[in-house]
A and B are shown apart, each in its own frame.
Chain A
Amino acid sequence: MTKLAKFLAVAGLLAGCNDASRSAVPPLDRFHYPIGMALRHALDGCTSGPGCSTCQGGTPGCRTLLYVASSNFDLSYDPDTGGSLMAVDPDAAVHRQPLRSVGPPVLMGSFAGELALLDEASCPGWEDGTRQPLALVASRSLNLLYAMPLASDGAPSCGAGCTAPLAIGLGDPFGVTVTCRTGPGGAPEASAWIAYQSTPSATAWLTEVPLQQPLEPLAPVTLGAAPVYESVYDPLRDRLYLTSRFYSAAFTPIRHVDLGFPTATQDPIRLDLAVPGSEATGIAISSDGTRAYVALRLYEPGLAQFGRPPDIGGALAVLDLTDIPAGGPSGRLLRLVPLGLGPAEVRAVARPGMRDLVAVTCTAGPSLYLYDDELGAVARAIGLDESTGTPLLGRQPFGLAVESPWWKSAAAPSAVRFFVASFDQSFVSVVELDDPARPASADVLRVTDPASASCAAVCPTTPCAGSSCPPGCPAACLVPMRIGPERR
């Protein structure tokens, strides 16, 4: 090899390693690597007060608002402002078309994490006219928490005092969970609990941020080894449950923090003993507070001596949260249900007289699984389109928001809608379930293929799902409804 060739090769390598970032503003008519999602409702004409956000979606005058945090994962846009939080009305969205957001989207730092909402639905008594609902999301790159007030129409904003810098020395604040407790005089006291994934010596840290002005995070507390991935709040026991990122194959804790005793050390549930080679990601609590549904990414523990081995499978663990007399949950493994690769977000749907229905996204599946805890089995898996082989919900489905109950029609007054965000393709799909007691009938919301004139002649003009689609419309004419344009 000549000197010139060597020089060119080195120069080419250096050029390839250039990390000069762009300062472009992100597009505000589409999602861009959506990550956190959350839902709320807004009653038309209601400006403030307890009834404004507690109406049932689908009922007259009750508007559904879907909040989506875009992460600017590829850093195509300005790292400090290339992320966004956007509110959209999913019922007003047009298939694959640019989005019309509710109010202007709010720009934020890149690498958004989980999105949590604080409103009357999540914290009874909060919207008493003196406090605004908030959207809470952290930028993992700026180490900043955003507490964005939501206007009466649902539009987010971020003015002075909307952000709070998080703990120095702790990084990657992915997890955000809202807790709502009773304060002096019975008024609600809300906090955001921030979990960090990048911590010294891979330890677990939490920061409580009381949601009051000014936003001032409290000193972070440590819980021991293994950084927290995500947490979920159980209001019945006033307790946080936390999943952990990979630390070692010999320690996979599911922790709990009794908020009355936040500094007391609690014995964690040791998943590594029951399911060796598992890393917990998403978690949800059953509506009666007695069970945890935990998404597990499975690997070969024998290969974990020098780091996290690649995934070989996924599962949903159902854990018993019944308290034992000495305190804390029993943690008994009740069910272990195989899922696809990369289980991520988990949501539980309450069903009267039945155990919960549990939705899980799998990024590498790609699938949405509906696990029926009454049956102890997966009732429905939505993965590939059997006719085209393409993923029905897009590549890497991650973000998940559930609307339940949702008034679909007089025949389906307690239907459920699942909103699933394709991280890689940056659109949101909708899965409808008319009767949550029959989860096998869940189906992707579809629209008539706009590219086919012949289909338009025999197929509906409005989106439909499953058996609500007219039988005369050929299946090939119906394509999955997508909220937002596809990222290419």
Chain B
Amino acid sequence: MSSRTTWLLPLLLATACSSGVKALSARYSAPAALAPFAGYTTKRPGELHRYLAVASARSDEIRILDPEDGTSVASPGLVFPLSVPTPAPARLASASLGDGGADLLAVAGMGSSTVGVVTTWRMDSRVSPVGPVASPVPADPLSLSVDLSTDADLGDGAVIVSLAAMTTPAAALPAGAHGARVLLGLSTRQLAVVEYLRDDATGGLLRVDSGSALPKQALGVQPLAMAVEPGGSRIFVATDDPLLDRNAAPVQGVAQVDASQGVAVAWPVVGLDAHGPTRLVAAGFFAERTRASSRAYGAPQLDVVAVLDESSCGPDRSIDCGLVTLVPDQGTGGVPPDPAGELSFRAPIRLASGSSSLTGPPIDARPVALAVVIPRQPPAPDLPGDDPIPDLFDGPPPDRSVSPLLSIYRTVGTAQATAVVAVVAADGYLHLVDPSRWGVVNDVDALRGTNYARVASVSREPGVPPATLPVFGVWNDRSSGGTTLVTALQDMIPEIAVTPGYTTTDSWVVEWNGRLPGLAQRYGALQADGSRFTVAVQAADASGRWTAAARIWDGSLGIHRGDLVVVSCPDAAGNARSFTARVADFELPDDLKQPPPASPLYPGGALVLDGDGGGTCQEAPGSPAMVHFDVRAQGLLLRGARFGYVGRPQLDQTFELRWQDEAPLALAAQGDPVADGDAVRQAQETLTVVRKARRWFYPADGPCGAPGSATACATAFPAGFDPTGYDPLTPGPVIRLRVGVQCPSVDPACAANLDQHRLDAAALGSELGLIIGTGDGLVPSLRRAVLVQAMPTAVTSIDRSQYATTRSLGTEVYASFLDDEVISFSPGSVTTGSSH
């Protein structure tokens, strides 16, 4: 092979490997925002066309993509894509003027006080110059952009926190006029409104004269994000500030602003209760499944989907993080009731991070942006695609002309819904959420198939137990009414109950004298305190001031009286020694004592030990010994690799990890620790555990049929052994089992000697217990940047059936990523396209 052939061949190969990038590269640079708009460009002279504006933040410009053919609008030189220069664009918003003409398209830069307006009605596509806020407006008809720092009310200190645009309601317009508004959520807890009217003479925009200051509406809350009611005049504002609902009751969530009137009138604001502060919001119409069936739907209704602020939600708060759905037109407009009848409100839709570890607590993906994805509008029953699939509905399929459908690709088969929500998150993924089924789109079936919620495995601790040691098993409560203790590993699987929607993917360990999570090999101080010995996770500095590295008194750690404390310390000769004592009592942390001690001794509290086991260490009154210690349960302990401590099964008694009402527990956990320390600690422990047993998701599956039927569940769930009619929304335990012990022949009464047997097992490098693997039956439907896992920044959707050449196509989702990429896909397809 000649040298020329040597380099020509790879070149040809490389050419062949082209991914089909269109002739003109889009040249995005850190795309930060997306907005569809109707306008004119040089690509299609004289044709009002719907484009996608892409804020290319790092290159200080907007690029314009034509969704019909997937190419960018070219610059006059044709070699490069068109650049609409604007400094560091970070936010885009668009709105129709309601007259079928070019849209209003607004842009704002990060940390900038300027709001630009793109000349969508002209083919030169530029950001119009900044005009003064003050009248006369506009001195230059094209000076439509606004610099807030010239506003007489605001000066140079206001920050644009959020940006949106809306069609001006007819009631707020002169007769026959058409207009649109740019809505600026300001750090002053106001909404500044820039109003534009169609200039019938030019087809362009005119900015409405507002005097020396823009009209502002008092919100009273920080407008972190805004969404406009589709086809309506309400604005929904995500905020972390407190609100008042329609009954003047204090709530936290989303502010609903009625913007149907002119700006001279104060727009009414009411709070929608999301059960926590919010920071992102979207609004759309969804037809929700019914309680009885996941395949029958009610009438479409306006839902507001909000992302809870992570500072006030989570496993240690009264509500989990995720997305909540608010129904503004029902009751006070808050989160609807739990369809399963368990909680007082519908559980948030949790987004499990695509990067979660199986050995740590579940990590929720942090949403970056969200968009409602709707089917083609208006409905076009004559077009193929997104046709109702009769098998997916109980009863007659919905009328497409009333409730058009969106097909959703799933690994195990297509689903259909009236709309979905696309959420891009910091885990690098786009998560598809199906609010009509109250959860994320599940790529598998949670009750059937091969990935259903289940006990996947049972095993023992490492090491083969000798015949002289007892063996743990579970009673056959589920198969034969609890008559026999099952110890064969595979046979134990059906005897352990799990519940779809509650059971998580985890590795559970039930162990005799099990180690309490977070309390292994802790470094701390062993002290002789009067006649007692105490141990605490604390150390003193050179001045003798104690610092605690754990609040060991806290009930959430799960320590009980009688638990074993295994202390390792050097003796007087410096040799390593260890001794075991039991927890006899608890010492309050100094800050909880009344009055606080003059000389703080236990900043995080302490464990009071029984006996005088401390005699082997160097401690003496006033001279504590620094030790390492473990805390082990006095009996059985159940912990999860992801969820940590969850409770203490008792031998031969049924144990359930199950949610219960948190409110009384939360109240009791706030009780008086001095007067009722045990009750407070117990409430703290129970509250921590039951929060781990909250509903994880609502299965989107339909009820199970009789065994052997096509709709039978893959296994029996706790509602009963006979799964006929099993309702997948049934509340149930995360895990339920009854542990028993089979004694060796050398010790037929081994139950009384399990502590010693555990030490025997430890001498062999093992523990006495079982390891139970569970699966949750949930595989979230995720999309991401092509080939890589870059950080997403924005998401939107466009109906491609509006274009002449793509009429048969439905809605396409567009998401931008920091690797200078915009991906696009149809929810009904597995294929993802990309432009750079």
Contact = CB atoms under 8 A, between A and B. Distances in A.
B360 A440 contact: no
A153 interface: no
Interface in A381-427: 381-384, 386
Given A277-B428, A379-B187, A440-B111, A182 B545 contact: yes
Interface in A126-184: 181-184
Contact of B32 (A183, A276, A320, A338): A338
Contacts of A298: 790-791, 818
A325 B428 contact: no
Given A300-B789, A325-B551, A378-B111, A313 B357 contact: no
A377 B156 contact: no
A333 B366 contact: yes
Contacts of B111: 369-370, 378-382, 440
B557 A325 contact: yes
Contacts of A338: 32, 57, 90, 110, 793
Given A273-B353, A275-B426, A438 B157 contact: yes
Contacts of B175: none
The interface centre, meaning the residue of A186, A372, A379 with most chain B CB atoms within 10 A of its CB, is A379
Interface stretch (B463-471, B535-543, B575-583, B702-710): B535-543
Interface in A326-372: 326-328, 330, 332-334, 336, 338, 340-341, 369-370, 372
B791 A439 contact: no
Contacts of B545: 182
B344 interface: no
24 contacts: A181-B541, A237-B547, A260-B541, A260-B549, A261-B539, A263-B523, A273-B353, A274-B363, A275-B427, A277-B791, A298-B818, A300-B785, A300-B790, A327-B518, A327-B549, A338-B57, A372-B159, A376-B279, A377-B187, A383-B87, A440-B111, A440-B187, A441-B156, A467-B155
B730 interface: no
Contacts of A377: 159, 161, 187, 224
A323 interface: yes
A381 B523 CA distance: 45
A327 B537 contact: yes
Interface in A267-300: 270, 272-277, 298, 300
B550 A327 contact: yes
B511 interface: no
Nearest to B791: A298
Interface string B331-366: 000000000000000000000011111001001001
A68 to B, nearest CB: 26
Interface residues of B, number: 73
A312 B158 CA distance: 30
A60 interface: no
A440 B147 CA distance: 13
Contacts of B551: 323, 325, 327
A185 interface: yes
Nearest to B148: A440
A318 B57 CA distance: 22
A332 B310 contact: yes
The interface centre, meaning the residue of B161, B426, B539 with most chain A CB atoms within 10 A of its CB, is B426
B355 A326 contact: no
Contacts of B787: 302
Nearest to B819: A312
A273 B366 contact: no
Interface of B: 30, 32, 57-58, 60, 87-88, 90, 109-113, 149, 155-159, 161, 187, 222, 224, 240, 279, 310-311, 314, 316, 353-357, 360, 363, 366, 368, 426-428, 517-519, 522-523, 537-543, 545, 547-552, 554, 556-557, 785, 787-791, 793, 818-820
A330 B557 CA distance: 15
A301 interface: yes
Given A261-B523, A276-B789, A298-B818, A313 B543 contact: no
Given A320-B311, A380-B159, 10 more contacts: A182-B545, A185-B543, A277-B428, A277-B791, A334-B311, A336-B366, A435-B157, A438-B157, A439-B157, A440-B149
A221 interface: no
Contacts of B542: 181-184, 189
Given A276-B427, A378-B110, A440-B187, A384 B87 contact: yes
Interface string A254-270: 00001111011000001
B426 A336 contact: yes
The interface centre, meaning the residue of B60, B159, B547 with most chain A CB atoms within 10 A of its CB, is B159
A272 B789 CA distance: 12
Contacts of B240: 376
Contacts of A303: 788
A220 B351 CA distance: 42
Contacts of B310: 332-334
B437 to A, nearest CB: 27
The interface centre, meaning the residue of A326, A441, A467 with most chain B CB atoms within 10 A of its CB, is A326
The interface centre, meaning the residue of B110, B366, B548 with most chain A CB atoms within 10 A of its CB, is B110
A382 B109 CA distance: 11
The interface centre, meaning the residue of B58, B157, B224, B537 with most chain A CB atoms within 10 A of its CB, is B157
A326 B518 contact: yes
B519 A326 contact: yes
Contacts of B547: 237-238, 258-260
Nearest to A339: B110
B357 A273 contact: yes
